[in-house]
Structures are given as C-alpha cells and as structure tokens.
Amino acid sequence: MNKLYLVRHGRAAAGWDVDPNPGLDELGRAQAEQASLTLSKYAPAQLVSSPLLRCQETAAPLAALLKASIAIEQRVAEILSPEGVELKDRVTWLRAAMTQTWTELGQRYISYRDDMVAFLSTCTVDTVVFSHFIAINAVVGSILGDDRVLIRSFDNCSITTIHRSDDGRLSLVDYGAEADTLIR
C-alpha cells in the first residue's frame, strides 16, 4: 500500500497556443518552491515528471531538497492535440475537448488516459508525479468511473493524493486545490 501525489505544474511562462514547451514564469517558480516544502514532508521514495519543461522545473526544487533524481515518464505527459491542429489553434481544440468525454474524443485519447492509469498502478513506493491539468483529470475520472474529460479545475501546483493498494488498484484520497484555470 502506498500513496501517489499528483502535482500539476506551476504556472507556465507561455500559453499552450504560443509555445509547445514553455518553462515556468516567476510565479510558477515560487509555486514550485512552496509545493516542494509541502511535498518534502511526505518523504516520497520516487519523483516522476512529464518530459515537458514546466513539469521538470516544478519537480526541481523538491529533487534538490531530497537530493533525489527525477525519472522522466512519457505516460504522464500533456494531452496531445489531434494531427493537423496548428499551435495557434490548440487552445480552441482543448476548450472543446474539455466539454466532451474520453469516449467522444476516441480511442487515441482513451489510450492516453488508460496508459497513464496503468503506469501509476505500477508505482509501488510513495511517489510524486509532476504532470498536467488534463492528465490529472484523466486519472481522477478513471478512479471515479467518470468518463468526462474535465472533472475538476486543478490549480497550478495543486497536490491530488491517490492511494495505491497492493494489487495496484487506485483510489482517491484527496483532491488538489482548485482555481479558475484559464487555458492560455
């Protein structure tokens, strides 16, 4: 039995329709520092991050505090926009996607959700996972049996706590903080 702490990255320096891989802005770095102080109290055995820069930069202060390495994991990355959607149109696509279900989005996105849940089911030690807004929603929805893409509006650096049983089943312990998140 162990816990997984799903952390949404700190505020990014650019929007999803401007830069495909921005780092954190000044507020995002401060959020990451504050989250690292909270997370260090849980003494996690493993740190995992999405390959995207904003997640790695959010994980860095905790890694420094714990003198730990960060494992990069593609299965906890940001949701991909469909083939042919240009960078400038990503926010429009995402806003529409957030009003749908995973079933309506189709098999590519169901696989995205299911692969992430399957990965988390294999984390056998207390683990902090630095990920993304939609990714955390996907995990929570899967646990709750709710097919909606958007379950909650998780704030930057919010911490959602998941319990993992010895047989790999996941259950929700606590939602991370919510905010009026703008997809920018």
**Per-residue model confidence as pLDDT tens digits over 16-29:** 788 989 999 999 99
CA angle, 67 then 168 then 174, to 5°: 70
Q: Which contiguous run of DSSP H or E holds residue 179? A: none
Q: What is the DSSP letter of 146?
A: -
* E-strand stretches of 40-125: 46-49, 71-72
- Residue 98 confidence class, pLDDT cut points 50, 70, 90: very high
CATH superfamily for 2-174 is Phosphoglycerate mutase-like (3.40.50.1240)
* E-strand stretches of the chain: 2-8, 46-49, 71-72, 127-131, 159-164, 170-174
Phi, psi of 99 (to 5 degrees): -90, 0
| Half-sphere exposure (Cβ direction) of 149: Cα atoms closer than 13 Å | 21
Residue 183: what pLDDT?
Answer: 52
- Residue 137 confidence class, pLDDT cut points 50, 70, 90: very high
What Å distances lie between residue 87 and 35, 51, 90, 167, CA to CA? 30, 18, 5, 41
Residue 16: what pLDDT?
Answer: 78
Residue 26: what pLDDT?
Answer: 98
**Per-residue model confidence as pLDDT tens digits over 4-18:** 999 999 999 998 788
Residue 46: what pLDDT?
Answer: 98
Question: Taken in order 56, 60, 63, 69, is the CA torsion positive or negative?
Answer: positive
* pTM of structure: 0.95
**Per-residue model confidence as pLDDT tens digits over 60-76:** 999 999 999 999 999 99
pLDDT of residue 153 exceeding 90: yes
